[in-house]
Structure 1
Amino acid sequence: MRYVLRKLGFYAVAAWMAVTVNFFLPRLIPGDPVQLMLTRMAQSGPVESGQEEALASMLGLGHGNIAVQYWDYLGSVVHLDFGLSVTYFPSPVTDVLSDALPWTLVLVGAATLISFVLGLTLGTLAGWRRGSWLDSLVPSTTFLAAVPYFWLALLLLYLFGQVWGVLPLGGGYDETLDMGFNGDFLSSAVEHAVLPAATIVLSSVGGWMLGMRNMMVSTLAEDYVTAAEAKGLRPRTVMVGYAARNAVLPSVAGFAISLGFIVSGSLVMEIVFSYPGMGFTLLQAVENTDYPLMQAVFLVITFAVLAANFLVDLVYGFVDPRTRQAR
């Protein structure tokens, strides 16, 4: 319990620091960001009365001294009130995020999990059977990891979308269909997600495989693995229960960071495939100087990374009890 409380305190402080940095970001921008946003909003339609005060409050640039503005900003964050989006005016920022977040969580989350599990499995087998044909695949997988995201995405798009014409060229679903939990829409969404997911898996599985393979080779030389083999334990028990369990610890820590950044989406992938996720939404916010949307996206990404690292810290403490010992 003390371990959990200590971790909670650390991440609570980190979350407060992230919110504070987000509060000061608009103050570092040259000029008046509120007037800039109002000018852009006016191009899309009439600006509602009181919108200037609402934007100023959301950005922490409201009336009163710095302490009052900071307190108002904390209140808006607690109530998830991020104002209106300039890019998608007059839609609230929360509505924009709620539309984009599920696409990214399902696609990038599933692809990251698949690449992680597949990479660890292949890396475990390659490290256990050094010199085998599977071990010889490591250089080719690392080559895929070195290939730029956009190049691999464009290659898959050209082959499967234009040459063979078996998969759609972009988008998240067939826009002629109504969104909902029905067979036609779900099958269309899966079909549109195949190429983006394949891009993520092919680009990242090599890194997980190489890291796990090297850790397996190092772990197999440890005395406790030699002792387990000397006891006559089954090879599978030694590989999974002794070698892989300890070799996987560094990969778990790396997976925590990847898991947290799932909500940010894969920016390059979503641009190439015009996929309606968080990465594409962030790009639109930057291009349109949409400060409310940018601030909200940054906070969501930060909190997701902190939450993912906290959960993995708990798992790490369970897998390796030594990490729970206070120094």
Structure 2
Amino acid sequence: MRYLARKLGFYLIAFWAAVTVNFFIPRLMPGDPVDIMISKLGQHGPVTPEMRHAIEALLGADTDRSLWSQYVDYLHNLVTGDFGTSVAYFPATVTSIIAQTLPWTIGLIGLATIISFLAGVGLGTLAGWRRGSWLDNLVPVTTMFQSVPYFWLALILLYLFGSVWPIFPLNGGYDVYTVTPGWNGPFIVSVLYYGALPALTIVLSSVGGWMLGMRNMMVSTLSEDYLVTAEAKGLRPGRIMRRYAARNAILPSVSGFAISLGFVVAGSIVTEAVFSYPGIGSALLQAVGNNDYALMQGIFLVITLSVLCANLLVDLLYSVIDPRTRAGG
């Protein structure tokens, strides 16, 4: 319990610090979201102080009040779930924009990250266990894809499988002309079809790193004394590989997976920009382009929560995989 309380206390302090930084950074950026909103509304003629004050209050950017008062209101709205109105998607609220775009990002980037991690760790385990095999010799090929810039790999695959051989669509998240969004078969099939190429790009660009890291840790672990003891006891090779070698070799990969999983939301910007995918990364680009304080704060908060929650879960999982991490001192 002390271990759990210590971890929760640390992450609560980290969350408060991230929320505070999240409040101040958009307000230090140049530009005025109120002027952008006035131009979007097509206002002609002079803008009265009353009109400007009303728009500032609507957007949560009331510059007539002190930063401390705005910060207190920001914390109150954070607790109540009221993140304000978006400039980029006016008059939609920030909460509704995040609710619409976040499932697309989690479904694509999250699943692709999990698939690449599981595939890389599994292949790396076999490559390290059978050094010198054809699978072990395949490691340099997989790491080559990781060295290629992600957007370049995405453009190449998009050109080959979207234009030269039109197997996959060029952009979008689903077929907007023939299917109706909802929990129905045609829509789910369309989403999987449109997300196949972006997911393939993510897997190809990241599976090599997981495979190489796991392979090297397996090679290092195989020289430990406890594995020699397990072999001397006559245990089956498969049991030794899974329960003794892989279980200890996977610990560094679990830490890396926590970071990758936490940055699923933040890492979606390039993916969604290349493939015009309707996720939260595209919404963040629109928010930055329009100085949308409220939407930027809401998305940054989601990124912060995803990173902290992923790291907390992996810390707890670490204590299960390796009980020594729970010991104090």
Report the TM-score when normalising by structure 1: 0.93
The answer to whether the 8 Å contact 2:128/2:216 transfers is: yes
Q: Deviations over 1:145-164 (max 9, x none)?
A: 11111121112112211222
Q: Which position in structure 2 is the counterpart of 1:3?
A: 3
The answer to whether the 8 Å contact 1:265/1:277 transfers is: no
Which residues of structure 1 form unaligned runs of 5+? none
Query: Given the alignment of the two structures, is residue 51 of structure 1 paired with residue 55 of structure 2, yes or no?
Result: yes
Amino acid at match of 1:249: L
Q: Which position in structure 2 is the counterpart of 1:120?
A: 121
Instruction: Give 3-state SS (helix, strand or coil) of 2:205's partner.
Output: helix
Cα distance in structure 2, aligned partners of 1:113 and 1:316: 17
Q: Deviations over 1:109-168 (max 9, x none)?
A: 111110000000000000000111100000000001111111211121122112221211
The answer to whether the 8 Å contact 2:154/2:274 transfers is: yes
Give the deviation of 1:225 after TM superposition.
1.1
The answer to whether the 8 Å contact 1:63/1:69 transfers is: no
Q: Which position in structure 2 is the counterpart of 1:68?
A: 69
Give the deviation of 1:84 after TM superposition.
1.2
The answer to whether the 8 Å contact 2:171/2:275 transfers is: yes
The answer to whether the 8 Å contact 1:120/1:208 transfers is: yes
More off after superposition, 119-128 vs 73-82 = 73-82
The answer to whether the 8 Å contact 1:82/1:296 transfers is: yes
Instruction: Give 3-state SS (helix, strand or coil) of 1:134's partner.
Output: helix
Q: Which position in structure 2 is the counterpart of 1:93?
A: 94
Give the deviation of 1:16 after TM superposition.
0.4
Cα distance in structure 2, aligned partners of 1:138 and 1:167: 28
Q: Deviations over 1:165-213 (max 9, x none)?
A: 1211110001112211112111111110110000000000000000000
Cα distance in structure 2, aligned partners of 1:26 and 1:210: 39
Gap change, CA 1:36 and 1:49, over 3 Å in 2: closer
Cα distance in structure 2, aligned partners of 1:135 and 1:234: 22
Q: Which position in structure 2 is the counterpart of 1:260?
A: 262
Q: Which position in structure 1 is the counterpart of 2:37?
A: 38
Share of identical aligned residues, percent? 61
Paired residues in the alignment total 323
Gap change, CA 1:41 and 1:81, over 3 Å in 2: farther
Cα distance in structure 1, aligned partners of 2:324 and 2:188: 45
Q: Which position in structure 1 is the counterpart of 2:320?
A: 318
Gap change, CA 1:65 and 1:294, over 3 Å in 2: closer
Q: Which position in structure 2 is the counterpart of 1:21?
A: 21
Q: Deviations over 1:246-296 (max 9, x none)?
A: 000000011011111112342222111100111121112222222211111
The answer to whether the 8 Å contact 1:123/1:210 transfers is: yes
Give the deviation of 1:71 after TM superposition.
1.6
Q: Deviations over 1:70-103 (max 9, x none)?
A: 2211001112212111111111111111111000
1:293 to 292, 295, 299: 295
The answer to whether the 8 Å contact 2:56/2:63 transfers is: no
Instruction: Give 3-state SS (helix, strand or coil) of 2:300's partner.
Output: helix
Cα distance in structure 1, aligned partners of 2:15 and 2:186: 41
Flag as ranges the 4+ runs of structure 1 deviating above 4 A.
44-49, 61-66
Q: Deviations over 1:4-47 (max 9, x none)?
A: 1110000000000011111222442346x353343344349998
Cα distance in structure 1, aligned partners of 2:101 and 2:226: 48
RMSD: 2.0
Which residues of structure 2 form unaligned runs of 5+? none
Amino acid at match of 1:103: W
Instruction: Give 3-state SS (helix, strand or coil) of 1:264's partner.
Output: coil
Give the deviation of 1:323 after TM superposition.
0.8
The answer to whether the 8 Å contact 1:40/1:86 transfers is: no
Q: Which position in structure 2 is the counterpart of 1:216?
A: 218
Instruction: Give 3-state SS (helix, strand or coil) of 1:171's partner.
Output: coil
Amino acid at match of 1:279: G
The answer to whether the 8 Å contact 2:34/2:55 transfers is: no
The answer to whether the 8 Å contact 1:104/1:265 transfers is: no
